């Protein structure tokens, strides 16, 4: 006698025949066929528990076979694009750090909510997923720039603290110090600094002096790059100039443009790249002073 518990059926020698009779020994090839969202848990052969999806039995007497089915369990792997900071999600209101693997009942629904943290901003919204098999879910996060304090610029003739950030997409290191007369001493390899100058300050004067290469690379003449982001929507250009090592220079922006400009950068990598932001990219050491005028 062949029986199937709730949640599936059994094929015996490829058929649904449940009762087999014979006057001599024979072999039954048994295959459990679970319903959707179910899986074979085990077999019972004359009350003895056996494992395996397929079962080959040599029948030599009265035998009862039962297939016992249970709700299938699937793996849900959740990863993120972030390698610089720990991403966090809530799954059915329980928090997990990424990457993680969860095991859930088949055909159940999970609600995945990416969380904003001090370092990361989620780019996905809340997702509701019905799990019908092993699933891999990749979430995307945007790295936030970390604010700096003590960076000062001249705004219409008055020295005042400005909003400033290190660019989060570079392994930016080094020191940033502002003197009492508004000169910002920069030292790093690399050091990428973003300084917000409101867009309505259309004339920005950036004075640069004493540009020098890093001590570890004294023979490489790294320039310092200075650019400004424009008010051109969500994907702006930034125009700028490079000042070579050993040189002193003044870079004047009228709106976004400087004459002459010798490079342009397209694209907004993170939300702090606002119109008006001055970006300074340095390998080595330099002194910079920024003056903004309406």
Question: ω into residue 186 within 30 of 0, thus cis?
Answer: no
Separation CA 32–CA 140 (nearest Å) = 40
215 and 244 part of one domain: yes
**Structural domains of the chain, count:** 3
Q: How far is CA 272 from the centre of its chain?
A: 17
158 and 285 part of one domain: yes
Beta bridge partners of 192: 281
Is there a contact between 144 and 120 (Cβ–Cβ < 8 Å)? yes
**Domain at 160, CATH number:** 2.60.120
**What is the pTM for the complete model shown?**
0.59
Q: CA gyration radius for the chain? A: 33
216 and 177 part of one domain: yes
13 and 35 part of one domain: yes
**Domain at 122, CATH number:** 2.60.40.2610
83 and 220 part of one domain: no
Residue finishing a domain among 124, 143, 162: 143
Residue finishing a domain among 100, 118, 143: 143
Residue finishing a domain among 36, 70, 104: 70
Is there a contact between 8 and 34 (Cβ–Cβ < 8 Å)? yes
154 and 49 part of one domain: no
Going by C-alpha positions, the residue among 162, 141, 144 that lies closest to residue 152 is 162
Residue 30 lies in domain: 2-70
282 and 218 part of one domain: yes
Place of tokens 């799954």: 91
126 and 30 part of one domain: no
Given this model, what pLDDT does residue 271 score? 74
195 and 154 part of one domain: yes
Place of tokens 């945007």: 142
250 and 199 part of one domain: yes
Structure tokens at 47: 């009350």
135 and 180 part of one domain: no
Given this model, what pLDDT does residue 80 score? 95
Scanning 85-214, the segments in alpha helix (DSSP H) are none
Q: How far is CA 41 from the centre of its chain?
A: 38
Given this model, what pLDDT does residue 234 score? 58
282 and 157 part of one domain: yes
Given this model, what pLDDT does residue 18 score? 76
The pLDDT tens digits along the chain (294 residues) read: 688 778 888 888 888 877 888 778 888 888 888 888 888 889 888 888 988 778 888 888 888 898 899 999 999 999 999 887 899 999 999 999 999 999 999 999 999 999 998 788 899 999 999 999 999 999 999 888 778 899 999 999 999 999 999 887 776 678 999 999 999 999 988 899 999 999 999 999 999 999 888 777 766 667 899 999 987 655 678 899 999 877 789 999 999 889 888 888 877 777 778 889 999 999 889 999 999 999
């Amino acid at each position: 006698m062949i029986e199937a518990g709730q949640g599936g059926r059994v094929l015996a020698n490829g058929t649904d025949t449940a009762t087999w009779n014979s006057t001599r020994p024979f072999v039954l090839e048994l295959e459990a066929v679970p319903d959707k969202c179910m899986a074979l848990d085990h077999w019972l052969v004359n009350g003895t528990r056996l494992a395996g999806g397929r079962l080959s039995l040599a029948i030599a007497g009265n035998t009862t076979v039962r297939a016992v089915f249970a709700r299938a369990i699937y793996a849900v792997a959740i990863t993120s694009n972030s390698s610089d900071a720990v991403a966090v999600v809530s799954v059915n209101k329980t928090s997990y750090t990424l990457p993680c693997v969860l095991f859930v009942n088949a055909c159940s629904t999970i609600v995945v909510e990416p969380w904003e943290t001090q370092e990361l901003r989620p780019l996905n919204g809340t997702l509701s997923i019905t799990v019908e098999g092993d699933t891999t879910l990749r979430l995307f996060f945007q790295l936030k720039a970390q604010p700096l304090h003590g960076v000062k610029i001249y705004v219409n003739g008055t020295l005042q603290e400005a909003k400033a950030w290190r660019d989060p997409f570079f392994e930016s290191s080094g020191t940033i110090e502002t003197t009492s007369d508004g000169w910002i001493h920069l030292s790093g390899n690399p050091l990428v600094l973003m300084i917000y100058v409101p867009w309505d300050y259309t004339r920005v004067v950036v004075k640069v002096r004493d540009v020098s290469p890093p001590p570890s690379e004294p023979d490489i003449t790294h320039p310092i790059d200075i650019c400004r982001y424009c008010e051109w929507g969500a994907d702006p250009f930034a125009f700028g100039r490079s000042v070579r090592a050993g040189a002193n220079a003044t870079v004047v922006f009228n709106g976004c443009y400087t004459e002459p400009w010798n490079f342009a950068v397209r694209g907004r990598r993170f939300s702090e790249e606002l119109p008006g932001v001055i970006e300074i990219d340095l390998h080595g050491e330099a002194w910079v002073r920024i003056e903004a005028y309406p």
